[in-house]
Amino acid sequence: MRAATLGLLACPTCRVPLAIEGSFQDPISTGKIRCSSCSQDYPVENGIPQFIQQPRLTGLNRRFSKTYDWFSWFYRAFSRIAFAYIGMDEGTARREITSRLEPGGGKVLEVSIGPGVNLPYLKEREDVGDIYGLDISPGQLLQCQGYSRKKGWEVELFLGNAEQLPFQDASFESVFHVGGINFFNDKKAAIIEMIRVSKAGARILICDETERGARAYERFLPSFKRAVGNRRETIQAPIAMVPAEMLEAHVDEVWKGWMYCLDFRKPQ
C-alpha cells in the first residue's frame, strides 16, 4: 500500500480518517492503521490493510468468504470454462460490463475484485486512473495481488466488507461490483456504501447472476449451494434498494441472460 492511499481511508465503523501507527516507508507492507476515534487497529499484511477478521463475520458473508478462499485457486479456470459453456468470448463479455464505466481519468474502485479478472479491461482504457479493489476473501486478494504484480500493475487492495467500506466519502470517480451482492448479508447497505464513496455525478454499476445463472452455479458448484443453503430467495436485481434520488437507474441482462446489470448515477 502506498502511503498516499492513507488519505482515502476511513474507519469502517465510525468513518473517521485513519493514521499510520509508527513510522513506515512508502510503500507500506506491514504495520498498523489506527482509528483515533474508536482506537481500533487495522493491521497491514503484505501490503493489504485488513479491515475485517473472518471469524467475526456472520451469516452469508462468513460462508462465502470461506467458499471464495477455496474457490480462488480455480476461479480463473472456472471463468474460462463458464464462458465457453454459455458461448461467449470472455474478453467480449467483460468489456460489455466495464465499457459502461465513466471514470474520466479518475480513481476506480471495484468492490469484490476477486482474483482480478476485470483488471485487463480496466488497464486497457486510457480514461482509467488509479485502481483500487476490495474483497471479503483473503484468498481472492492474494490471487489478485500475485496476478497484478506479475503484470506490473499497481492496484491497491483491501480486505473488507462491502457493507462497511473503509473509505472516506466521495473518494472515487467510478465504483462497480461484479458478482457477489446476491448473497451479501445486507444488499441495501452495500449499495448505500458504494454511493457514499462515489463522487457526485459518478456512474455506479452493480452486476450479478440472474436466477438462471445462480441455478447453474448450484448445479456445477456444490460448495456454492452449500454456502447459500436450501431456502434461498429467487434472484432479483436490487433496483428497489437504490435510493429514489439516484438518477438514470435501470437494469438489463448481459452475458446472454446469465447476468443482470444495474446502473445509476449519483446526483451532482
Output the pLDDT for position 24: 61
Output the pLDDT for position 25: 64
Which three cell numbers, joined as nine digits, stand for 225?
449451494
pLDDT above 80: residue 229? no
| DSSP class per residue in 14-32 | T-PBEEEES---SS--SEE
Q: What is the mean pLDDT of the chain?
A: 93
Residue closest to 205 by CA, chosen among 177, 240, 179, 180 = 177
Output the pLDDT for position 12: 96
For 181-190, write each residue's pLDDT tens digit. Answer: 999 999 999 9
For 95-130, write each residue's pLDDT tens digit. Answer: 999 999 999 999 999 999 999 999 999 999 999 999
Can you give the pTM of this predicted structure? 0.95
Residue closest to 195 by CA, chosen among 262, 268, 246, 244 = 246
Q: Which helix (H) or strand (E) holds 187?
A: helix 187-197
Asked if residue 262 lies in contact with residue 251, where contact means CB atoms within 8 angstroms, the answer is yes
pLDDT above 80: residue 23? no
Q: Once rounded to an integer, what is the mean pLDDT over residues 235-263?
A: 97
Output the pLDDT for position 3: 79
**Domains of the chain from N-terminus onward:** 1-47 (no CATH), 51-265 (3.40.50.150)
Task: Report the alpha-carbon distance of residue 156 to residue 49 in Å, rounded.
Answer: 10
Task: Report the alpha-carbon distance of residue 82 to residue 143 in Å, rounded.
Answer: 19
For residue 2, name the pLDDT band (cuts at 50, 70, 90). confident
Task: Report the alpha-carbon distance of residue 166 to residue 198 in Å, rounded.
Answer: 13
Provide the residue type at 16 as one letter.
Answer: V
Which three cell numbers, joined as nine digits, stand for 148?
497484478
For 158-181, write each residue's pLDDT tens digit. Answer: 999 999 999 999 999 999 999 999
